[in-house]
Amino acid sequence: MVDLMDDIINQVIQREGGSKATNKPNDPGGRTQFGISEKSNPEAWADGKVTEEEAREIYLKKYIKGPGFDKIPASHGRVQNLLIDYGVNSGPGVAIQKLQAILGLSEDGVLGPKTLEALIAADPIKVNNQLVAARVKMICKVVQKRPQQLSDLFGLVSRALEFLI
């Protein structure tokens, strides 16, 4: 049986285009495979390619366990999935800061006990949809600052909107 984190990683890899390697000129991350960019993960690219096993390990370490997203309870599983995906695209710290802003907390980018407590006490559907809105706004601001990424706008916004409840 596939566990929840494996399932979430499968979904991220699917959204990232699977095993197909890309090297888009407007992608600030450089070469990418399984969604793992060369700029952010040069060690995975040391031999010129990323294996699925390496990608899964990076997702688990850097985008799930590292930021503490694995500590989010099942009652907030949709929010957890969204935060992981948001963190893959924008960095876990940014995703956590947006969550903290929605919860009315200090925005330190750390998913600590206060943030977890506030999240657990909040309506998961409301938090989820507010996070989607914050993500879409951020994507639009990024593209406004970097017009060369305009060709990616539809895909990035569509990806964020997949998480609406």
The hierarchical CATH code for the domain 75-165 is: 1.20.141.10
Q: What percent of the chain has pLDDT over 90?
A: 85
Dihedral angle, C-alpha 36, 68, 90, 33, nearest 10 °: 10
Range 18-21, long-range pairs (CB < 8 A, 24+ positions): 19/52, 21/49, 21/50
Query: pLDDT tens, 123-145?
Result: 999 999 999 999 999 999 999 99
Token pair belonging to 69: 């997203």
Q: What is the predicted pLDDT for the residue at 1? A: 40
132: CB partners within 8 A, 6+ apart = 82, 160, 161, 163, 164
What residue spans of 16-104 are helical by DSSP H? Answer: 52-58, 77-90, 92-103
In the chain, the amino acid numbered 95 is A
Q: What is the predicted pLDDT for the residue at 27? A: 78
Whole-angstrom distance, CA of residue 57 vs CA of residue 44: 10
Domain ranges of the chain: 1-65, 75-165
Q: Which helix (H) or strand (E) holds 33?
A: strand 32-33
Q: What is the predicted pLDDT for the residue at 4? A: 86
Q: What is the pTM of this model?
A: 0.92
Helices and strands in the chain: count of H runs, count of E runs: 7, 2
Confidence of residue 3 (pLDDT cuts 50, 70, 90): confident
Task: Read off the pLDDT of each residue in 40-53 and give the average, rounded to a whole number.
Answer: 94
Judge contact between 47 and 57, C-beta under 8 A: no
